[in-house]
Structure 1
Amino acid sequence: MVLSVLRQVCRSLCVVAFAAAVAACSGPSKPVPKELGANIGLIGVKSAWTAQVGPLDATTQAHVVGAQVLLSSANGTVTALQGETGRVVWQLGVGAPLVSGVGGDGQTFAVVSEAGELIALSSDKVLWRQRMGALSLTTPLVAGARVFTLSADRTVTAFDAASGQRLWQMQRTSDPLVLGQAGVLMAVGDTLVVGVAGRLLGLNPLNGAARWEVPVAVSRGTNEVERLVDLVAGVSRLQSNVCVRSYQAAVACVDASKGALLWNKAAAGMTGLAGDSEYVFGTEADSKLMAWSRSSGERVWVSETLRWRGLGTPLVAGQTLVVGDSSGLLHFLSRTDGAPMDRASTDGSSIVGAPVLVGKTLIAVTQKGGVFAFRPE
């Protein structure tokens, strides 16, 4: 089963890559990123510390627990760093290459190996291992003495956090292709919220029973690639207001307390969202930055300043929007209109996942495994 799903994932990635290659050969040359010009340095971003944790999988997301930031490297090491100083709090090798981020509640942590094995650990030892039956690129969720996983074949599984016993499983029919990206898996109150294909589901975490289901995007197109509508990791949540992106199809906000769609807008992005009480932010496939009204979904502004720079999932930090690009630069922009304010460099490799905040320290990680912390003046 693991190999079957691995082949599905690889097929997905290969078909997408092939389609891109055909388009590149038959169409115009690859777009050139916009020139950045001189850095205006309105914020005065200063380096706080740096660290190295080993090369990271492209789907890895840094995970903040209290004052620590946790990272899983592709070589099988889980590292917890003190957010303010970069000091290694603990580090543990699990003996297998890892493909997911680290999920954890401060006591129990969980990761997924390349072979489709769920591994639970504490700060000093591996607690248990469980074969999942399918690969998962989504960071496990540890909550309520359970570990929840979302597999590439869209199976949601709950495990007992202490023993690793499988408690329940919910599976939907899988499409021929699956997306090689992390999906949506989170807790909102006493509801487990997951993305399955183009739908957001609210499940009872005790038994997996469906409480509600909201369609975000409908599968359309003439081929399997065009019909991909998976929801991608990177969710903007404000209490029960949850805003998500469907891959290259739509951006939507849902009331997760009722399972009600608030609004839905067409959008062609591939990465997750950020937001605050007023706005929801995201990047399109061509690296246009966009802001939508959180209440209505109406477009507030569009910025083409960073077009074609391979932008990732943004982060809102006060009055600033922070986003990394494929060249390892962090861009600081005004949240009100997208105007450039500052930028900072890392190690030249792509920024992985969204930047995170630990207190007043902004932390970004790169595909080479560099961890870079900054503090605005």
Structure 2
Amino acid sequence: MSGALMQTHGRFERQVVSRPRSRALDTLWRATLLGGVAVSLSACSLFGSSKEAKPAPLETFTPALNASVQWEARIDSVKFPLAISAQDKQFVVGDSDGQLTALAADTGTPNWRVNVGKGLSAGVGSDGRFAAAVTRDNELVVTEGDKILWRKTLTTPVITSPFVAGERVFVLTLDRVVLAYDAQDGRKLWELRRPGEPLTLKQSGVIGAYQNTLVVGQGSRLAGVDPNRGLLLWEATVANPRGTNEVERLADLVGPMGRDKEVFCARAFQSAVGCVNADRGSAIWTRNFAGTQGVSVDATLVVAADGSDRITAWGTRSGDVLWTSDQLQNRKLSTPLVTAKAVIFGDSEGYVHFLSRDKGQTIQRVPTDSSGVVTAPVLLGNTVLVATRNGRLYALRQD
């Protein structure tokens, strides 16, 4: 097994991670850890009920970008927190029936398929060679192409996609424990168990890497971890939780996070958006900004939406507000994707919105099916892939 994470196909250099209470009531559950037992509580029981706001009507606009559907594919419905892996000119996805599929990015042609036998509780992690997923029975399954290599039952639920690199599989459990396994034979290599938070979110966390450092969310902090021994190297605070009780102070980092070179940016649930320098292991900036979805980043922009789907863009290195946009309010936006040509969001009615990078104005809109976009858009080459709740995959090209 390689001692350095970035030596396996160079994967780490290519790995990519304010909503009021009303949005949280509709979409989130919490898990409270009492005596080592995870008890799920509905968000409504924690915060009370709230009438859903009416989505903003679609505005008229003058197209300033050509965007079209390049290909479509079908998987089973998406009833779990799906994340799409993009590696080696292919997208790897999972569905509610437990089938993993690798699709060629340019054509959508399946390169391989394998059924792990059970529905999934989280998305698929892949480095192009190995793929890893966790089933609803809490079983970690690792494949090499269409061959299942091994299975291992986990003791704590997982809803964050496994992270695969350096011939290792890294798992972030619901209580934010990090587990490391050998990708080829399933040997457990180490476990990092941080002091537990009274409450943790039943929502995907953040996990990725910078060079030979594993980067994970631990409560409201981003942490650098030695991937060989599981030792904590550094911690950087993204949010300073405030409130009179544990619910109000809940500020877990939620995925996906964004990355540009050494800069990692993440959303602390209902609290803040902030960026960290992984070279130094220190915070660059943090801004109070309540919301529940992840962020997207490039060298210039950090973009996120708040709980009413008002969108803000900050300077990546400065944290200064560059623009705000409110034309997509209450449309239940996905995590965004920042590309060289546009800022892209999906919404609950199945539209994919392309916003200008300089002002956040709508420059294109592409419909999918009406079941709603349920994943963060994922970029591979010139292809952007989105998935809908009904299991439709749409590959879009920006020209």
Instruction: Report the TM-score when normalising by structure 2.
Output: 0.88
1:230 Cα shift?
0.6
Q: Is the 8 A contact 1:244 1:273 kept in 2?
A: yes
The answer to whether 1:343 aligns with 2:385 is no
Alignment of 1:60 onto 2:82: yes
Given that 1:108 and 1:121 are in contact with CA atoms closer than 8 Å, whether structure 2 keeps it comes out as: yes
SS at match of 1:158: strand
Mean CA deviation greater in 30-39 or 180-189: 30-39
CA distance in 2, matches of 1:288, 1:7: 37
Query: 2:186 corresponds to which letter in structure 1?
Result: G
Shift of 1:72: 0.9
Q: Which amino acid aligns with 1:324?
A: G
1:234 aligns with 2:265: no
208, 217, 225: which is aligned to 1:203? 225
Structure 1 residue 266 corresponds to structure 2 residue 288? yes
> Which shifted more, 155-164 or 31-40?
31-40
2:14: which partner in 1? none
Q: CA RMSD in A?
A: 1.9
- Identity over aligned pairs, percent: 37
Deviations 1:109-140 (A, max 9, x none): 10011122111011122100112211111111
User: Is contact 1:56–1:368 with CA below 8 Å preserved after alignment?
Assistant: yes
Conservation of the 8 A alpha-carbon contact between 2:83 and 2:376: yes
Which residue of the partner structure matches residue 309 of structure 1?
331
Letter matched to residue 142 of structure 2: A
Q: Which residue of 2 aligns with 1:155?
A: 177
Cα deviation, 1:304-352, whole Å, max 9, x if unaligned, reads 0101110111111212111011111100000111001111111112212
| Cα pair 1:84 1:358 within 8 Å, conserved | no
Which piece of structure 1 moves more, 189-198 or 44-53? 44-53
Per the alignment, residue 184 of structure 1 pairs with: 206
Which of 121, 126, 140 aligns to 1:99? It is 121
Q: Which runs of 5+ in 1 are unaligned?
A: none
- Mapped partners of 2:73, 2:61: distance in 1: 25
CA distance in 1 between counterparts of 2:317 and 2:142 reads 39
2:40 — aligned with what?
10
Do 2:298 and 2:339's aligned partners in 1 also have CA atoms closer than 8 Å? Answer: no
SS in 2 for 1:186: strand
3-state SS of 2:374 partner: strand
- Asked if the contact 1:9/1:152 (under 8 Å) is kept, the reply is no
Aligned length: 368
1:17 Cα deviation after fit: 2.7
Tell me the CA shift for residue 236 of structure 1: 1.6
CA distance in 2, matches of 1:300, 1:62: 29
1:251 aligns with 2:281: no
How far 1:7 moved relative to its partner? 7.0
Q: Which amino acid in the other structure matches residue 67 of structure 1?
A: K
SS at match of 1:245: strand
Instruction: Provide structure 2 residue ranges, at least 5 long, that are not aligned to the other structure.
Output: 1-30
Letter in 2 for 1:231: L
Q: TM-score, normalised by structure 1?
A: 0.93
- 1:218 is aligned to 2:240: yes
Read off the aligned partner of 1:217 and give its amino acid letter.
A
- Separation (CA, whole Å) in 1 of partners of 2:395 and 2:332: 21
Deviation at 1:227, TM superposition (A): 2.0
Tell me how far 1:42 sits from its aligned partner. Answer: 2.6
Q: CA deviation at 1:165?
A: 0.7
Q: CA deviation at 1:75?
A: 1.1
Letter in 2 for 1:192: L
How far the C-alpha of 1:44 sits from its partner, in A, is 2.8
Question: Any idea what SS the aligned residue of 1:352 has?
Answer: coil
> Counterpart of 1:131 in structure 2: which amino acid?
T
Give the aligned partner of residue 320 of structure 1: 342
**Structure-to-structure mapping, 1:137-148, within 5 angstroms:** 137-148=159-170
Secondary structure, aligned partner of 1:17? helix
SS in 2 for 1:354: coil
Distance of 1:303 and 1:254 partners within structure 2: 25
- Please tell me whether residue 73 in structure 1 is matched to residue 95 in structure 2: yes
Which moved further from structure 2: 175-184 or 243-252?
175-184
Contact (CA 8 Å) 2:272, 2:290: kept in 1 or not? yes
Q: State the alpha-carbon separation in 2 of the partners of residues 192 and 37 from structure 1.
A: 42
Within the alignment, does 1:175 sit opposite 2:197 as a pair? yes
